[in-house]
Amino acid sequence: GAGVSQSPSNKVTEKGKDVELRCDPISGHTALYWYRQSLGQGLEFLIYFQGNSAPDKSGLPSDRFSAERTGGSVSTLTIQRTQQEDSAVYLCASSLGITYNEQFFGPGTRLTVL
Amino acid sequence: QQQVKQSPQSLIVQKGGISIINCAYENTAFDYFPWYQQFPGKGPALLIAIRPDVSEKKEGRFTISFNKSAKQFSLHIMDSQPGDSATYFCAASKKAGTALIFGKGTTLSVSS
């Protein structure tokens, strides 16, 4: 596809379960970002991958959150032992690379923790 | 600490009118200022962006005005249309390859 894709589009889980959210960036984009959008908090940065460099994890809210990027393309955000406050829309964005500012967002995954 | 402050929170404009959304920032290291448009159920879409070396950028009906000394920038939507009804976010980043810092968003409603 031409744009950033994310799956699933919606995820409902029970408190304490682990979830995995997937992001496919735009082909050729080496930079990948995860953000979280929640009511009252707006859009918050979570983690950033650039090529093979160590990721910038400075936005991860707790050690229950982790992410990986395999082969420099697809990324998976994992939330362990989910809590109700994790309920939000998780957005992925990609960019051409380290010298490019423009970030292009996917449609997001809406996570609901019951 | 809110690094990018956006106002108003919501805005109602008549069709054909001008919509104006304002943002202010504190960190002088920011050098890239985009605006995103988001429709319900969709991800944010890049609308227009500016760097601090210019005071204005126009793309169609959308204009960014930038005031470096005041550390403020604004989005103007000329001839607002009902299809412009969406949430608009301003953002800032320090350099390419760094995270965007977003404002809280403005919900625009254009009445026909």
Q: Residues B71-96: pLDDT tens digits? A: 999 999 999 999 999 999 999 999 88
Distance between CA atoms of B105 and A1, rounded to whole angstroms?
28
CB pairs under 8 A between A and B: 60
Whole-angstrom distance, CA of residue B67 vs CA of residue B5 = 15
The candidate with the shortest Cα–Cα distance to B91, out of A75, A86, A93, is A93
Question: What CA–CA distance (Å, rounded) separates A52 from A54?
Answer: 7
Reported as a single tens digit per residue, the pLDDT across B5-58 is 999 999 999 999 999 999 999 999 999 999 999 999 999 999 999 999 999 999
- CA dist., res. B75 & res. A101, Å (int): 19
Please list, in sequence order, all residues whose beta carbon lies within 8 angstroms of the beta carbon of residue B102, skipping any fewer than 6 positions away.
A42, A43, A44, B4, B36, B89, B90, B91
pLDDT value of position B42 = 94
In our burial notation (b when 16+ CB lie closer than 10 A, e otherwise), range A43-59 reads: bbbbbbbbeeeebbeeb
Say if the Cβ atoms of A42 and B45 lie within 8 Å.
no
pLDDT in the model for residue B91: 97
Domain A5-113 has CATH 2.60.40.10: yes
The pLDDT of residue A112 is above 60:
yes
- Distance, in angstroms, between B17 CA and closest chain A CA? 27
Dihedral sign (CA A112, B35, B40, B76): positive
Average pLDDT over residues A26-51: 92
Residue A1: per-residue pLDDT: 54
B43-to-B21, B70, B87, B92 alpha-carbon distances in Å? 20, 30, 11, 18
B1 pLDDT more than 80 = no
Inter-chain residue contact B100 with A56, CB threshold 8 Å: no
Chain B positions touching A108 (Cβ under 8 A) are 42-43
CATH architecture for the domain at B4-111: Sandwich (2.60)
Whether chain B has a CB inside 8 Å of the CB on A25: the answer is no
Task: Give the pLDDT score at B83.
Answer: 97
